């Protein structure tokens, strides 16, 4: 399958490498390819190597503009920051998203205040805003409630005994995403919450997620619904 | 220990009966005792018997006004609806809350829109609002992320293998609440998130909780943090 991964940060890299390993043809989308490859500084307080370094070790992955990547993908994954998402999708191009499955794993994080908050929440979600802005795409919200490493290797935490949520209006699009979660990433516990408005719950969960990461001092955890 | 339980709904009743069983002296607080006892209609779509019926079977529990109950309690538990909370605490009386542990288990649920939302969230929590309004009380947020039955009998779900959160500014008050959770209710997994501002996460979790109750068709579940 042809997959576009919009975003070259830790989430985009982790998903791209895993999807390529699973036999998909992946193109990472970025704003400016030359500028991305020219960067030499590390990011995330030194923890993230420059993209070029990662790219040298993952040369099977393609690289293009947001529009080139989106055009390539049968499935388009939004792995950009929440704040950049609508601009990035606009750059990807409405025509390149039409009829596609648009997997939104971003979070509307707002670091501008003294404490982390969400720039959209409670009465709307970022996923709904994306779906309204790009009605020709089939938006599926998923994977936003955990660390990138857990997304692609659920068994790395508690043997995989925890949950991932999906929300979306289109049943076929959700089914394709659930297949990818199960078959490619190894998820055994997927909860379909309902239409795209149900993305509010998983997005609002991020505040607790960040608190827990602070409390534990690690991101190697996930939410399980015990029954 | 003397405990006040403000609120005579399903949560107040469940907590009162359990605390009395554990040997505490409980007084349920309500706005108007005579009016509460005179009610004959069932609530919650017929699922909740009139208070008088419950009270006849739980006669060891005391009953008084919000102020009488709060005066009685060494610990005061707010088991009213989020929307009523500040009015109820005002009726309970500032002097009766001074120096007390005020356990807030309410949720700022707003059913006025088409979809459930929170009337305070993201940049503030109801627990913070309570602490600001009643600085003489030591507010501890806990137990708001689950059904009443699970609060007092965590082993009824997955053998107790799931979590409860506590948030509050006063370490001694939190320690007393954690003791109550462990020794009286049987909680083995308590996560201290930090000061009262960390109540935002567990309150924002309610949107997902309600979605899950709809998805599962039962409230017999809880959140576990898998590690």
**DSSP state letters, A52-86:** HHHHHH-TTSEEEEHHHHHHH-SEEEE-S-GGGHH
pLDDT per position as a tens digit, B145-198: 999 999 999 999 999 999 999 999 999 999 999 999 999 999 999 999 999 999
pLDDT per position as a tens digit, B30-55: 999 999 999 999 988 899 999 999 99
Average pLDDT over residues B70-78: 98
Flag whether pLDDT at B24 surpasses 90: yes
Q: Across chain A, what does the average pLDDT equal?
A: 97
Q: Give the mutation candidate from A141, A144, A159, A208 for the B interface (greatest B CB count, under 10 A).
A: A208
pLDDT at residue number B43: 86
Average pLDDT over residues A7-27: 98
pLDDT at residue number A21: 98
pLDDT at residue number A113: 85
pLDDT at residue number A114: 84
Contacts of residue A202 in chain B, CB cutoff 8 Å?
208
Flag whether pLDDT at A43 surpasses 90: no
Average pLDDT over residues B199-225: 98
Q: What are phi and psi of A163, to 5 degrees?
A: -120, 155
pLDDT band for A37, please (50, 70, 90 cuts).
very high
pLDDT at residue number B114: 84
Average pLDDT over residues B11-22: 98
Average pLDDT over residues A142-155: 98
Average pLDDT over residues B51-63: 97
Average pLDDT over residues A4-14: 98
pLDDT at residue number B45: 86
A204 and B161 within 8 Å at the Cβ level: the answer is no
Smallest CA–CA distance, residue B119 to chain A, in Å, is 9
Residues 6+ apart with CB under 8 A from B49: B42
Average pLDDT over residues A27-49: 95
Instruction: Write the DSSP assignment of chain B as a string of letters.
Output: -EEEEE--SHHHHHHHHHHHHTT-EEEEEES-HHHHHH--S-BTTTTB--HHHHHHH-TTSEEEEHHHHHHH-SEEEE-S-GGGHHHHHHHH-HHHHTT-EEEE----EE-SSSS-EESS-SS--HHHHHHHH-TTSEEEEESTTS-HHHHH-GGGTGGG-S-EEEEES-HHHHHHHHHIIIIIT----EEEEESGGGGHHHHHHHHHHHHHHHHHT-S--EEEEE-
pLDDT at residue number A45: 87
pLDDT at residue number A102: 98
Q: What is the ipTM of this complex?
A: 0.96
Smallest CA–CA distance, residue A208 to chain B, in Å, is 4
Contacts of residue B144 in chain A, CB cutoff 8 Å?
none
**Which candidate from A162, A198, A215 shows the least CB-CB separation from B211?**
A198
Flag whether pLDDT at A30 surpasses 90: yes
pLDDT per position as a tens digit, A87-138: 999 999 999 999 999 999 999 999 998 899 999 999 999 999 999 999 999 9
pLDDT per position as a tens digit, B104-159: 999 999 999 889 999 999 999 999 999 999 999 999 999 999 999 999 999 999 99
Residues 6+ apart with CB under 8 A from B67: B29, B91, B92, B93, B96
CB pairs under 8 A between A and B: 116
Q: Give the mutation candidate from B111, B199, B206, B227 for the A interface (greatest A CB count, under 10 A).
A: B227
């Amino acid at each position: 399958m042809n997959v576009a991964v919009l975003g070259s940060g830790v989430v985009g890299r982790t998903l791209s490498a895993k999807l390529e390993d699973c036999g998909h043809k992946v193109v990472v989308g970025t704003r400016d390819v030359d500028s991305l490859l020219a960067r030499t500084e590390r990011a995330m307080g030194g923890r993230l190597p420059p993209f070029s370094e990662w790219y040298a070790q993952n040369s099977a992955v393609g690289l293009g503009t947001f529009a080139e990547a989106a055009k390539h993908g049968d499935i388009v994954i939004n792995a950009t920051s929440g704040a950049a998402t609508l601009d990035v999708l606009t750059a990807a191009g409405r025509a390149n998203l039409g009829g596609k499955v648009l997997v939104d794993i971003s979070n509307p994080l707002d670091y501008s205040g003294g404490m982390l908050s969400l720039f959209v929440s409670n009465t709307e979600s970022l996923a709904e805003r994306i779906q309204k802005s790009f009605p020709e795409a089939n938006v599926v919200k998923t994977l936003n409630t955990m660390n990138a490493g857990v997304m692609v290797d659920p068994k790395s935490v508690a043997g995989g005994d925890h949950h991932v949520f999906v929300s979306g209006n289109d049943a076929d699009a959700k089914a394709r995403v659930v297949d990818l979660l199960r078959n490619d990433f190894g998820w055994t516990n997927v909860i379909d919450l309902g239409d795209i408005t149900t993305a509010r719950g998983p997005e609002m969960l991020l505040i607790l997620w960040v608190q827990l990461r602070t409390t534990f001092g690690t991101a190697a955890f996930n939410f399980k619904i015990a029954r």
